[in-house]
Amino acid sequence: MAAGNKVVVVGAGPTGLLIALGLAQAGAEVTVIDKGEGVLRSPRAMVYLPSTLKVLDDVGVLEDAKRIGAFGYRFTQHFLLSGQKGGLDFHDLEGITPYSYILHFGQDELADLLLERLKALPNAAIQWATAFQGYTQSDDKVQLQLERDGCEEFLDADWLIGCDGAGSAVRKAMGVQFEGFTWDEVFMATNLIYDFEKFDYADNNMVADPDDWRVVAKINNDGLWRVAYGESTELTEEQRVARITERFKRILPDPSEPYELVLANSYRVHQRSAETYRSGRVLLAGDAAHATNPIGGLGLTSGVQDASLLIKSLSAQFNNQAADDALDWYAYERRRCFVEIASPTAIELKRRMQEREPAKRQADEAGFFAMLGNSEYKRKAMLSTFDLAGRPYREDWRQSYVAEDLRNNGGIVSGHGGVTIERAG
């Protein structure tokens, strides 16, 4: 399969723009298309964990991110059953990793930052208000069918990368199943100005309660915070927004304190993965490849790691530094990281936040404080998102990594995703 370096990225979210920037820096001719008129401004991800900071550093935007973001160091878990709380301090990672902190800012601001860098490159372009309609591919190219201003257009490329969200039109055009399930509640994301620090809230907080669980995190240094909680699917969006005042009476540490609601929207939450992340010259990344509940911030974190490996794998191929097999490795390893690490971790965090059984809530609390009492376990917890980066590419990955995965998983390989696996023996 001829390599070629003409790449079209569908979707101008953080994952798509990271991939576009990284590939353009590596010499690719990159075009980003998005059906929207500009960057999406609704409340979405806004916490950047250490493993994400490393990827931002790799593409040269970390210093800019540090200038616009608020630094966070503390995470606190609140246990309403007992009234106790305890937490982690990322200062403890100093000397272990240069990324011993968390950054807080809206993912729309990250998109703005990446777009600014992308527009400065002569080999990169973006087309807004352009809808992806489908594609055909051959051994040496992909042809995209697009719609812009009511007119049909065609665009040729060497590679097509779908980063267009959980409802991905690219994934649907591939005919790939989005395996998993949708949670029977929606998540309400609210941005508000409120003095949480007055009540000894950390930069990041999880509050465990069966009815009023919530995630509370700083967005910036100007008093803006994110509060996310669950809502009923039986309500309309207007009804969910109308209930915010009532919910805040139970959620805010002191509802008599003034607050200003800045933005609010709800969204369905999925626990799904595409059955494969590659079909020939077409690849998936970010929410187009997988979707998870947002507790723990593993959705954006996984998408950023997808971007990192895809930049390395695809640029190595068109720069004649790796074979086509490196893209099979991308598809295999990124699916494995999601199915075996990100998704089960997010499911478990959600369970702990919403657990109703008192004995299990007590056990969760005891386990958390036991972890805090062990310095090695605490460091591992804070460094755990680096596991989502996966393993480095090896030319013999089918014989080495896959054989290991088969042994560890009883002959089942969760990362296969359409990649041919030869079982040893």
Mind giving me the DSSP string for 346-372?
HHHHHHHHH---HHHHHHHHHHHHHHH
Query: Which pLDDT does position 146 carry in this prediction?
Result: 97
Reading across the β-sheet that carries 142-148, which strands appear in turn? 130-137, 142-148, 151-157
Taking the alpha carbons at both ends of the chain, their separation in whole angstroms is 29
Residues listed for the chain = 425
Please say whether the beta carbons of 126 and 31 come within 8 A. yes
Instruction: With beta carbons less than 8 A apart as the criterion, state whether 333 and 391 touch.
Output: yes
Q: Which residue has the tokens 């616009």?
A: 68
What are the angstrom distances between the C-alpha of 45 and each of 22, 110, 241, 296?
A: 21, 10, 19, 11
Helix (DSSP H) and strand (DSSP E) numbers for the chain: 13, 20
**pLDDT at position 425:** 32
SS3 at position 47: strand
C-alpha 268/C-alpha 186 separation (Å) is: 5
The helix-helix angle for 343-354 and 298-318 (nearest 10°) equals 170
**Distance between CA 4 and CA 27 in Å, rounded?**
11
CA distance 67 to 221: 12
Domain boundaries, the chain: 6-180+271-393
CA separation for the pair 220, 118 (Å, rounded): 25
Q: Which residue matches tokens 């560890």?
A: 408
Rounded distance between C-alpha atoms, residue 193 and residue 258, angstroms: 9
Q: What are the start-end ranges of the E strands in 232-259?
A: none
pLDDT for residue 320: 81
> What does the block give as tokens for 275?
């059955």
Instruction: Please report where in the chains the tokens 């400065």 appear, as a residue.
Output: 120
Burial classification of residue 4, based on how many CB atoms lie within 10 Å of its CB (0-12 exposed, 13-18 middle, 19 or more buried): middle
All residue ranges of the chain with pLDDT < 50 are 422-425
Tokens of residue 392, six digits: 């480095």
Q: What is the DSSP string of 79-129?
A: ETTTTEEEEEEGGGGTTT-S--SEEE--HHHHHHHHHHHHHTSTTEEEESS
Q: Give the DSSP H or E segment for 328.
A: helix 325-337
pLDDT the model gives residue 419: 54
Q: How far apart are CA 141 and CA 149, in angstroms?
A: 25
The amino acid at residue 1 is M
Tokens of 9: 């990225």
The label of the residue with tokens 């010499």 reads 27
Cβ atoms of residues 252 and 194 within 8 Å: yes
From 12, 3, 2, 69, select the one nearest 286 (Cα to Cα): 12
Instruction: Give 304-347 pLDDT, tens digit per residue.
Output: 999 999 999 999 988 888 777 899 999 999 999 999 999 999 99
Q: What is the dotted CATH code of the domain comprising 6-180+271-393? A: 3.50.50.60
